[in-house]
Amino acid sequence: MAEAEQVKVLRSWLSPWSFKVELALKLKGVPHEKVEEDLANKSPLLLASNPIHKKIPVLLHNGKAIPESGIILEYIDETWTNNPILPKAPYERSMARFWSRFIDDKCVGACWMSCWTEGETQQMFMEQARASLRILDDELGERKFFGGESIGLVDISACFLSLWFGVLQEVAGISLINGEEFPNLCRWIEGFVATDAVTECLPPRDELLATFQSKKQAILATKSMVY
């Protein structure tokens, strides 16, 4: 049962991880306050709410702080039980968690590094990314979403592959996710970004593109995902 709410998200407009949290809250119709963090100048609230990692996103619910986007998503699903993002049955829940982890561990990093490296190193990352994306594309198959007819945990976890990776590929001048090699993923991206709840939460593409272009040199130097 949901308690009388005070819900805040410590977030960054750039970040796909805080987008995940905001999308989940939007899908469940949970009103919340977005607190924009300057990651070069972290607020006392952020440092107090996530003292160990000092990272966004953090969900603040009635004064309690929950960090780490994957953990926040499960918390949201358990606290606001309408429009579930995880299936009910244990086996199906396991599959959702498995594929979420697969995306986090095997897709996002390789895709990111493909954009910020060159030569043989870049080729290696692109091959890794391709191999993982192939598996993901097969897993999706003909379904509209990984969650079936509606967006679920895996779709939310895969959000990086939609808007953000599209922008990053443009900045890096590479084309990894194309309709020929990954027809299912391309179809998924189109369907995902066109969904009302997603559209309302996504950052503006042109602003995202401009920001990544301006930060390109800085990111090339560190390859860090915290920018």
| Cβ atoms within 10 Å of 201's Cβ, excluding its own | 20
Q: Which is nearer to another protein, 52 or 194 (CB)?
A: 52
Q: Which is nearer to another protein, 60 or 111 (CB)?
A: 60
| Residue closer to another protein (CB basis): 210 or 226 | 226
How many Å apart are CA 41 and CA 50, to the nearest integer?
15
Task: Decide whether 44 or 91 has the Cβ nearer to another protein.
Answer: 91
Which residues of this protein are in contact with another protein, per CB under 8 A? 52, 61, 64, 66-68, 70-72, 74-75, 78-79, 90-91, 93-94, 97-98, 101-102, 135
* Residue with Cβ nearer another protein (8 or 171): 8
Q: How far is the CB of 151 from another protein (least distance, A)?
A: 20
Phi, psi at 152, each rounded to 5°: -130, -170
Q: Can you tell me the distance from the alpha carbon of 16 to that of 9, in angstroms, rounded to the nearest whole number?
A: 13
Closest CA to 100 of 43, 149, 151, 46: 151
Which residues neighbour 63 within 8 Å (Cβ) at sequence distance 6 or greater?
6
**Alpha-carbon distance values, 74 to 80, 86, 118, 181 (Å):** 10, 8, 37, 32
